[in-house]
């Protein structure tokens, strides 16, 4: 199970430029969180601060009982091994083939034998669907393959925390959909704590357990996906619905006169769209940290927008969920007698741990 990361009052500036201030949030262990924000709001700076590549001006980053910004170099080095990071461009070495790129952290940070290195590299390449491409150079493969190679490299030290910076950058919508599925599948498999920075609204709406939004040098909101997707807060609503109406302007924020003009024109932000069902692991399993659809809304007395949690086949996943979970195999069994409920994704899923699925679990 991944570890929880607790960020308290974190502030970062470069010279006189404050990037963000007083950021506090908790990345729950094993859950997938997404960080959003207009360009330049410091999302990448936040990821780099989390992994200790940038030092904040003040505040705390608790990883277990270690406060990362204040660790002596030797402990920081150890703590960093808990993290796997996929940088925006994959950060692969151009002159090394994929095998050597992915093996790099193992050869650099462990004393494993070459046969052990080979076993681990091939296992991770298999996990991201790259088996057979070991000998290719980064310049010979597509953008999507580079991302997957970067992911395999981020996984070789079996991280407890996986940070992913813009997995969708430079990818077409279909490749983005495949990569999103891979991220959800990996979370189901390794159960680490994930934080993904993205601009892709579809990713933000369907993949994570939690969403955070940076704007005007602050973390506007961070919480369960359902909380943000049902929020009436203008910035959150504008961003998550990719609309022009709202406080975010062409170059960061609109001024008062622009907002007044918008109000005079009678522009209103419209109705909130339905909350889509969350993306499931491709074999249909419930991720250990996954919450029941509608659980946050039910626990907080929030009526989700009409049409929420209904999939393309018209099934309402709030109603479907107890049946879906109940039909799962008993712990240890591989297959569900009779298969999954009609139309449920995949046909093979393990029993979820107890206590994960009741309304309000974990909130």
Ligand X SMILES: Nc1ncnc2c1ncn2[C@@H]1O[C@H](COP(=O)(O)OP(=O)(O)OP(=O)(O)O)[C@@H](O)[C@H]1O
User: Closer to ligand X at the Cβ: 44 or 110?
Assistant: 44
CB of 41 to ligand X, least distance (A): 4
CB of 46 to ligand X, least distance (A): 7
| CA–centroid distance for 66 within its chain | 23
Residue 310 forms beta bridges with which residues? 316
Site residues for ligand X, 45-104, by CB under 6 A, read: 45
Distance CA 251, CA 273 (A): 26
CB of 214 to ligand X, least distance (A): 7
User: Closer to ligand X at the Cβ: 28 or 38?
Assistant: 38
User: Closer to ligand X at the Cβ: 145 or 213?
Assistant: 213
User: Closer to ligand X at the Cβ: 188 or 240?
Assistant: 240
User: Closer to ligand X at the Cβ: 16 or 271?
Assistant: 16
CB of 38 to ligand X, least distance (A): 7
Site residues for ligand X, 14-53, by CB under 6 A, read: 14, 19, 37, 39-45
User: Closer to ligand X at the Cβ: 88 or 189?
Assistant: 88
User: Closer to ligand X at the Cβ: 17 or 74?
Assistant: 17
Q: Does 290 bind ligand X (CB under 6 A)?
A: no
Site residues for ligand X, 257-286, by CB under 6 A, read: none
Largest CA distance in the chain: 70
CB of 19 to ligand X, least distance (A): 5
Distance CA 76, CA 84 (A): 14
- Degrees, nearest 5: CA angle 269-26-302: 40
Nearest Cα neighbor of 317 from 351, 283, 274 is 274
Measured in degrees and rounded to the nearest 5, phi and psi for residue 219 equal: -85, 105
Residue for token pair 């407890």: 160
CB of 110 to ligand X, least distance (A): 29
Q: CB-based contacts of 140: which residues, under 8 Å, 6+ apart?
A: none
CB of 81 to ligand X, least distance (A): 23
Integer-rounded Cα Rg, in Å, for the chain is: 21
CB 282 within 8 A of CB 350: no
Distance CA 360, CA 63 (A): 25
Site size with ligand X, rule: CB under 6 A: 10
What's the CA dihedral at 87, 92, 93, 96 to 10 degrees?
160
CB of 83 to ligand X, least distance (A): 17
Strands (E), the chain: 5-14, 17-27, 32-36, 58-63, 66-67, 83-86, 161-165, 193-197, 210-215, 218-224
User: Closer to ligand X at the Cβ: 40 or 64?
Assistant: 40
Q: Which positions touch ligand X (CB under 6 A)?
A: 14, 19, 37, 39-45
């Amino acid at each position: 199970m991944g570890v929880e990361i607790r960020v308290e009052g974190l502030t970062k500036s470069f010279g006189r430029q404050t990037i963000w201030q007083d950021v506090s949030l908790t990345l729950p262990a094993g859950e997938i969180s997404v960080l959003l924000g207009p360009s330049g709001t410091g999302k990448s700076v936040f990821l780099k601060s989390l992994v200790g590549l940038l030092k904040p001006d003040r505040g705390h980053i608790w990883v277990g009982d270690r406060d990362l910004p204040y660790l002596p170099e030797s402990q920081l080095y150890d703590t960093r091994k808990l993290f796997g990071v996929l940088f925006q461009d994959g950060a692969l070495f151009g002159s090394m083939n994929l095998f050597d790129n992915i093996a790099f952290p193992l050869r650099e940070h462990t004393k494993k034998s070459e046969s052990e290195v080979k076993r681990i590299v091939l296992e991770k390449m298999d996990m991201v669907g790259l088996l057979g491409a070991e000998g290719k150079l980064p310049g010979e493969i597509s953008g999507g393959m580079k991302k997957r190679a970067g992911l395999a490299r981020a996984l070789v030290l079996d991280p407890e925390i996986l940070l992913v910076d813009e997995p969708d950058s430079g990818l077409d919508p279909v490749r983005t959909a495949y990569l999103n599925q891979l991220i959800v599948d990996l979370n189901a498999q390794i159960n680490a704590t994930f934080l993904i920075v993205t601009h892709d609204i579809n990713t933000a709406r369907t993949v994570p357990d939690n969403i955070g939004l940076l704007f005007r040098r602050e973390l506007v909101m961070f919480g369960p996906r359902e909380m943000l997707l049902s929020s009436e807060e203008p910035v959150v609503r504008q961003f998550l619905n990719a609309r022009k109406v709202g406080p975010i302007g062409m170059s960061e924020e609109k001024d008062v006169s622009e907002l007044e003009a918008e109000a005079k024109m009678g522009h209103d932000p419209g109705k909130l769209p339905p909350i889509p069902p969350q993306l499931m692991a491709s074999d249909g399993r419930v991720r250990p940290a996954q919450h029941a659809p509608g659980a946050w809304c039910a626990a907080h007395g929030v009526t989700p927008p009409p049409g929420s949690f209904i999939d393309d086949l018209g099934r309402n996943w709030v109603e479907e969920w107890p049946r879906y979970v109940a039909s799962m195999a008993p712990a240890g069994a591989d297959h569900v007698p009779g298969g999954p409920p009609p139309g449920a994704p995949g046909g093979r899923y393990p029993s979820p741990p107890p206590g994960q699925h009741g309304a309000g679990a974990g909130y």
